[in-house]
Structure formats: C-alpha cells, structure tokens
Chain A
Amino acid sequence: MAKRKTPGLNTSSMADISFLLLTFFLMTSSINTDMGIARKLPPPLPENFEKPEVHERNIFVVKVNSKDGLLFNKEYGDIRDLRARAKEFLSNPNDDPNLPEKNEIEIDGLGKYRVSKGVISLQNDRGTSYDMYFRVQNELAAAINEMRDELSTDKFHKKYSDLNENQKTAIEKAIPVSISEAEPKNVGGKK
C-alpha cells in the first residue's frame, strides 16, 4: 500500500482557545498591590521601667479623642494643620527656644548634622476610629517625608526616593521617624 500522507491539523482554532483562556486569566487576575504605611512597634516595657526625663519643648503631643477630635499640645487643632505643625516642630528652622533642641552628630555621607531631639507623642482613645488614626499617621508621615525630600535635594540634588541605600540611611539618621505612641486611654467609654 502506498504511504498515506497525514493531513495537517487545522490549528486556526487554537488561537481562539488560547484567547479564551487568556481572557479568563485576564479577568481573574488582580495584580494586588498592597499599599500602606510601615511602622515599627516598640518592644514591651521592662517591669522596673522609669520614664526618661524629657524637656517639655522636645515633645509635641497629638491627642485624638473618641469623637475623632484633635488636640495639639494643649489646644484644639485641625488635621489640615497637622502636617505644617509637625514639620515646624521637627525642623525648628529658627532655633526657637520653645521648639526642640538639636544634637549635632557626625553622619557618614552628610557630615555634621544637627538632629532634632523632638518626639511626636501620639495618643489615641479606644474609641478613635481607625480612619482618623490612619489619617493622623499619614500626615505625620507626610511631614517627615517632606523634610527628608528637602534635605536630600539640598545635599544630593535628588529626591529621597531616588537616593541609593547609603544616602538613604544617612538621611534617615538625620531625620528619624520620631513618633512615639502612648498606651491607649479609655476616656470615651467605648469598648
């Protein structure tokens, strides 16, 4: 018998099938990018812990009550002002005696830099909404990021996010994330 030639498969529908699969995966896939703010919790306090003496000028107290109202130091405040207030407090550009002291240290890659001793103390009530808390955190983060950007444009002529690792560490040393969270209080009476 003569050898028969196998007829070629019609592969034109292959593309259709793979298109179908493609659309399925296109629809179901969600490139989920988790965004947010990273923070570090302090380790638990030892039993015999004594409160360190801190000058009043070195502390900026931000309180959030159970009705999401804000208190800066001892006056009512608005979240819109928080960023500017935090920046002013942390940078203390004119060496105001009411604003934090500065400590001159030597930083690799930056030289001598006067690091602020200021600490932002964030206190919230158990009834504070997570939304408000996050917005406060966001504004404080914004203040620090703006200051870091300013310093890095000044020293390296680049934005903070474009710096290399060593430069970033230097900037982080110069402008640390000095936010301290107090143990939450229960004034609003909510669970």
Chain B
Amino acid sequence: MARFTGKKAKETPGLNMGSMSDIIFMLLFFFMVITTMRESSLFVQISAPKGTEVVKLEKKSLVSYINIGIPMKDYQAKYGKEPRIQLNDAIADVADISRFVETERSARQEADRPFLTMAIKADKTATMGLVSDIKQELRKAGSFKIFYNASKGSAID
C-alpha cells in the first residue's frame, strides 16, 4: 500500500475549456438561424385583440400582412390620427389593396398562389368599417383566405 501513499496531495486538474467555444458557437448558430429580422418597420400602433381559440399561423412564406391601426406618434402629423392601413412599408388606402394582392401573388411561385393568406393585423380600436372595406376588396381581388391576428388570452373580461 505504501506505493500509493507516497504521492503529494492531489490537485484538481483544470478543466479543458477548448470545447466550450464550440458549444457556444453551436448555440450561436441556432439562434442566428431562427432569428427573423423584421422586414419592415411598423408605422401604426397595433395592440391585437385576445382570443381563446387562436391557432398558430402556418407556412409563413405564404402569408402577407395587412396592418391596421392608428399611426404612431411620430407619423401622426403626416398620416393623421385616424386608423390607417399599412401594406409592407407604406401607408396605403383601401383602393391599394387589389394592387397589393397582385404584387404579393406574383412574388410567389405559381403553385403556391392559391394558398396565399392575408393576415389582418388590426388594432383593437379599429372600426369594422375599415376592416370590412378591406375584406370586400380582398373578395374582389379573389384572395379568400384570411387570418385575424390575435394573441392568446381570455376574450371575455
């Protein structure tokens, strides 16, 4: 037994940190891949209504957004205080919807075009007059799939 006791007190060996960076890089790439930078900044304020029956929006590439809300403070001088429509990165009117549908459609592959969904992201305070006008325009433009954006929560307060 004397063979083993003759050594000096054990030191804990230092951990090899070499692979740490690899692990962190892996995480880094994961987050880099899943990150979606916002394509266009919002000009309108949107606080979505709440609902209990909301489902996830599938196939993001086949979705175009129609934002409706009161322009943000900085833009109120330019666009007024009434709820407005924002398509991509510009404030638009109801009359622009059909053109918007056309451009969005032509940006997609031919096979995907019938599945193009218009997601209506409207503020709680927006009136149905504006939303209905948009819906009528979408009907005329032949884009029937719509999606009412909302957050999860109890609808009845």
Contacts and interface: CB of A to CB of B under 8 A. Distances in A.
Determine if chain A interacts with chain B.
yes
Interface string A35-52: 111111111100000000
Contacts, number: 161
Given A18-B28, A36-B54, A186 B129 contact: yes
Interface string B45-58: 00011011111110
A134 B151 CA distance: 11
Size range of the chain A interface in the assembly: 35 or more
A188 to B, nearest CB: 9
Interface in A15-73: 15, 18-19, 21-22, 25-26, 28-44, 64
A167 interface: no
- The interface residues of chain B, by DSSP majority, are classed as mixed
A37 B50 CA distance: 11
A130 B125 contact: yes
Given A29-B35, A131-B125, A139-B155, A38 B52 contact: no
Given A22-B28, A41-B138, A131-B49, 17 more contacts: A11-B21, A18-B28, A22-B24, A22-B27, A25-B32, A28-B35, A33-B57, A34-B147, A35-B152, A36-B147, A43-B144, A64-B128, A128-B128, A129-B127, A130-B123, A134-B150, A184-B128
Interface of B: 17-18, 20-21, 24-25, 27-28, 31-32, 34-37, 48-49, 51-57, 60, 63, 68, 117, 119, 122-129, 131-132, 135, 138-140, 142-152, 155-156
